[in-house]
Amino acid sequence: MNQPPVYLSSTNQPEAITSSAPYCIKNSIKNRIKTRLKRRRLSCHSGACLALLFMSLYASSPPVNATAQGINKAFNITWLNDLKLSVGDDDNVGQSAKNSKIIAEKFNQLNYQLTADIPLKGNQAVSLAGFTQYQRFSAVDDLEQYSLGLSFDFRWQRNLGYLAPFYRFTTSYQYNKFGAKQRNNGQLKTRLLLTKRLSDSLTLVTGIGYQHQSAHSKVFDLRHINALVNIDYSPMSKVIYYAAYGYRKGKIWSTTQANLCNGQRTNNINKVIIAAEIFEPDQAFNSTFCGNWTAYRLKARSHSIRLGINVSLSQQTALDFSTLWIDSDSRHDVSYQRRIMQLTYLLRF
């Protein structure tokens, strides 16, 4: 059975709706990847970078003994190596409410994933993957992030046929370590997807999901349900245009400047205190900017739209450019808007 698109949730934007469309490595229209990256030099002084190096060396080498070769042959395992490099611009990295001070940032990111793809009987397949990610912003150093995770992916097709839909169940766990300790967290994500080709050039993806995040600080303990609808349009073999809508309901975090640099109290802080479930000083923003910055958690409904284009450069590489708009509303007229633009280079080897 052909492998359907691979959707990777965003880890560098905890509150961005992960309904974004796939990136495509043009071995076929169904082999796609998604990710982001950042724009400063990368350092390898952490366990995440060491894990990345180990996984890369292991994945690029042939099996070192007859047992490994036998397992690969017996289960017909295909090993996939995906590397993603991205630079981007985030116009509201703190997810700050309107009418408050908003911080814009440049970011870059490196993501590597090693996948074992195993076909099963009938029209079914399983993928097991390990992945690691590094992310850095240009100004707020304590938002620097290292991630390690594992994922399980089960795919099936009830009936054979060019227009027959694929179904996909995915679950993953990843640990995210930040420069600011209060943001360190573990994320559990689950999603059920349906992918259906509508014509030679149109493909539809719909799905529902759940995410639970347990953090060092309760402000960043989050959970939400989400849904997505995505359309791919491929008028030619090497180009895909995509549009996605996402909806999320649950808890989000935000940060706001409670006091100005001169100590004066900001105008909107009282509204935030009433709306928030819990709040505490934001370590990452207080270490970078003057004034008193406060992180808080609240319930919200969020809508997102992503538009993008993916261009295949070869059988193994592609470029992807997309823009994501997020609008999140909560009680007491506390809301935020966010726009993220990113350019990603994808390599499968």
The verdict on residue 250 lying in a domain is yes
Average pLDDT of the segment spanning 14-20: 37
User: Hey, what amino acid is at 298?
Assistant: L
Residue-averaged pLDDT of the chain: 84
Q: So what's the pLDDT on residue 6? A: 35
pLDDT at 34 over 60: no
CB-CB contact of 349 with 83 (8 Å): yes
Of 27-36, 160-169, 318-327, which has the strongest mean pLDDT?
318-327
Tally of domains within the chain = 1
Is the pLDDT assigned to residue 148 strictly greater than 50?
Answer: yes
Backbone angles phi and psi of 338, in degrees to 5 = -150, 140
Query: Would you say residue 36 has pLDDT above 60?
Result: no
Q: What is the pTM of this model?
A: 0.81
pLDDT value at position 74?
72
pLDDT at 332 (0 to 100): 78
Per-residue pLDDT, 342? 98
pLDDT at position 279:
93
pLDDT digits (tens, 9 = 90+) for 135-147: 999 999 999 999 9
Residue 9 is predicted with a pLDDT of 33
pLDDT of the residue at 119? 94
Asked whether 338 and 91 are in contact (CB, 8 A), the reply is: yes
In a domain, 6, yes or no: no
Q: Residue 331 has which token pair?
A: 């009680």
How does pLDDT run across 299-311, given as a tens digit for each residue?
999 999 999 999 9
Give CA–CA dist 260/105, Å, rounded.
20
Could you tell me what percent of the chain has a pLDDT over 70?
81
Q: Do the Cβ atoms of 134 and 48 come closer than 8 Å?
A: yes
Considering only residues 189 and 262, tell me which one the structure prediction assigns the higher pLDDT. Answer: 189
- Our CA angle for 12, 17, 18, nearest 5°, is 70
Nearest Cα to Cα of residue 56 among 113, 136, 135: 113
Q: Is the pLDDT of residue 49 over 70?
A: no
Which residue range(s) make up the domain with 319?
23-348
Region 81-89 average pLDDT: 98
According to the model, what pLDDT value does residue 56 have?
A: 52
Handedness of CA 92, 95, 101, 105 (dihedral sign): negative
Kindly indicate the confidence band of residue 268, based on its pLDDT and cuts at 50, 70 and 90: confident
Q: CATH number of the domain that 265 lies in? A: 2.40.160.40
In a domain, 145, yes or no: yes
pLDDT of res. 65: 57
Q: Where are the beta strands (DSSP E) in 313-334?
A: 317-329
What was the pLDDT predicted at 66? 66
Q: Examine residue 151 and state whether it is found in any structural domain, yes or no.
A: yes
Q: What is the mean pLDDT of residues 8-25?
A: 37
The whole-number pLDDT of residue 68 equals: 67
| pLDDT tens-digit readout, 221-261 | 999 999 999 999 999 889 999 999 999 999 999 999 999 99
CA dihedral 306, 189, 40, 242 (to 10 degrees): -20
In which band, very low, low, confident or very high, does the pLDDT at 40 lie, cut at 50, 70 and 90?
Answer: very low
Question: Does residue 7 sit within a domain?
Answer: no
Q: What percent of the chain has pLDDT over 90?
A: 68
Among positive and negative, which fits the CA dihedral 65, 67, 73, 77? Answer: negative
